[in-house]
Chains A and B, each alone.
Chain A
Amino acid sequence: MSLLSNTSVLLGKELRTEFRSRELLITTCVFIIIVLVLFSFTVNPGTEQARQFAPGLLWLAILFAASLMFQSCFLREQVNDTLSSLRLAVAEPFSIFLAKLVANTLFLLLTELIMLPIFAAFYNIPVLPNFPVLVLVLFVGSLGIAVTGTAISAISAQARMRELLLPLLLLPLLTPVLVVSSIVTAGLLDRDPVVQWRGIAFLGVFDLIFLTALWLFGQYLLEE
């Protein structure tokens, strides 16, 4: 019970900190727009093939954005030296991770939803058919990115060259998420849409495995 109540208090803190300035959300949105525009110069976005490759570009942009977005989640605690007080305040160290990863998932999902209309317009792909399933795919994919991203940012925050280290450690780990979510999304946005439940289930398994690993090993990531 203390896990849930601790987590909800900490989640409130994460959300309050972000929504006071909204700087993380705004910068990430701008970053995704820049990446999508730059991608459109390297390929021909107006063609019919765009339906095949654009979802992959979208997920790649999300992955890059996430690897920048999660930098601050433990760094913020370090700058103000609040991590040790956080650790002392909660009975279950996992709740610190749980709060941060729920917040990260929410931020990521929010930026994706803001970006989706822009993506649809740039690459001329209607996203509204199958919209609920698309949101489900975005959710399970983002949860996977947030779980691993939160764990890795706790590691990289304690090393030198941390800004470069986080993408270096995180991006290869996220290969399965990129492969499966871009293919499932491409299926959904196709002219004859297909819902690949097996892919969505696979992403769910990915989330579950890393969530379990974080639950088992998370406390060691926060040791002094």
Chain B
Amino acid sequence: MAKRTLFGAVATLLVIAAAYANFFVAPTERTMGLIQRIFYFHAATAWAGEMVFFLCFVANLLYIWKRRDQYDWLGVACAEVGLACITIVLITGPIWAHPVWGIWWTWDARLTSTFVLWLLYVSYLLLRTLIEEPGRRALLSALFGVFAFLDVPLVFFSIRWWRTQHPAPVIMGGSGSGLDPIMSKVFFFNVFVMHLFAAFLIVERYILEKLRHDVDVLQREAGAQ
């Protein structure tokens, strides 16, 4: 318990430190001005969300293979935390886009595929609420999770190749891309903090799911007596 509280406190303090760095340490961007500062938070959360969904996919595969409840708990924890991250991305994106692009939303590859990703995991969580029996719920949602994850790159490339564009990637986007050194440090600090905070949320959600499972077992035992 003490360890979890400590972990939570450290993660929260680091989020505050990251917010401070975003506003006061990073230099102001030349053309976009202050609004660009949302980028650190926006892109770092997107990276964390994608990582968490990958972990969800791994947990789903492990559940199908090993059939241990732990993997189901990890799967649902990751799906919810990933969904929270992507929700933040979908909210901060338009806040940035409106002053810079002049529009709230554009149907380009990254925006649209992120939105479809969000829809797929909303469906995943809805599916879980509609199956009563725990074993069946775990297995069927794990299978749907695998299909959903396989679909994401297909969605991305279908829109990228047959529809339109987003600003080219700033990081690892080839020549001409790249960040100012201080901006880059602030950004990667944000990436680290967001991953850590997501990890903290996953641990908490995992324990909650485990407790629910224990309560379920106890209730069934009490009912049997």
B133-172 vs A, CB cutoff 8 Å, 1 = contact: the mask equals 0001001100110111011001101110111000000000
Among A151, A175, A199, chain B packs the most CB atoms within 10 A around the CB of A175
**B123–A176 touching, CB < 8 Å:** no
Task: Tell me which residues across on chain B come within 8 A of A179, comparing CB atoms.
Answer: 155, 158-159, 162-163
Task: Tell me which residues across on chain B come within 8 A of A83, comparing CB atoms.
Answer: none
**B130–A161 touching, CB < 8 Å:** yes
**A221–B140 touching, CB < 8 Å:** yes
**A148–B126 touching, CB < 8 Å:** no
Within 8 Å of chain B (Cβ to Cβ): is A108? Answer: no
Within 8 Å of chain A (Cβ to Cβ): is B25? Answer: no
**B139–A213 touching, CB < 8 Å:** no
Within 8 Å of chain A (Cβ to Cβ): is B116? Answer: yes
**B126–A172 touching, CB < 8 Å:** no
**A180–B147 touching, CB < 8 Å:** no
**A172–B123 touching, CB < 8 Å:** yes
Interface size class for chain A?
20 to 34
**A151–B158 touching, CB < 8 Å:** no
Within 8 Å of chain B (Cβ to Cβ): is A159? Answer: yes
- In angstroms, Cα B163 to Cα A183, docked, is 9
Task: Tell me which residues across on chain B come within 8 A of A159, comparing CB atoms.
Answer: 127, 130-131, 140
| Cross-interface CB contact of B123 among A160, A168, A205, cutoff 8 Å | A168
The smallest beta-carbon distance between A158 and chain B, in angstroms, is 6
In the complex formed, the residue of A with least CB distance to B136 is: A158
**A172–B116 touching, CB < 8 Å:** yes
**B148–A173 touching, CB < 8 Å:** yes
How many residues on B have C-beta within 8 angstroms of the other chain's C-beta atoms? 28
Within 8 Å of chain B (Cβ to Cβ): is A64? Answer: no
Among A158, A168, A176, A179, chain B packs the most CB atoms within 10 A around the CB of A176
Within 8 Å of chain B (Cβ to Cβ): is A223? Answer: yes
The smallest beta-carbon distance between B133 and chain A, in angstroms, is 9
Task: Tell me which residues across on chain B come within 8 A of A175, comparing CB atoms.
Answer: 116, 151, 155, 158
The smallest beta-carbon distance between A193 and chain B, in angstroms, is 17
The smallest beta-carbon distance between B116 and chain A, in angstroms, is 5
In the complex formed, the residue of B with least CB distance to A173 is: B151
Task: Tell me which residues across on chain B come within 8 A of A161, comparing CB atoms.
Answer: 130
| Cross-interface CB contact of B144 among A155, A205, A209, A210, cutoff 8 Å | A155
| Cross-interface CB contact of B143 among A148, A180, A209, A217, cutoff 8 Å | A217
Task: Tell me which residues across on chain B come within 8 A of A199, comparing CB atoms.
Answer: 162
**B147–A213 touching, CB < 8 Å:** yes
Within 8 Å of chain A (Cβ to Cβ): is B132? Answer: yes
Within 8 Å of chain A (Cβ to Cβ): is B10? Answer: no
**Which 8 pairs, one residue from A and one from B, show the smallest C-beta to C-beta distance?**
A176-B158, A176-B154, A159-B130, A172-B119, A179-B158, A160-B130, A159-B131, A183-B162
Task: Name B's A-contacting residues (CB within 8 A).
Answer: 64, 116, 119-120, 123, 126-127, 130-132, 136, 139-140, 143-144, 146-148, 150-151, 154-155, 157-159, 161-163
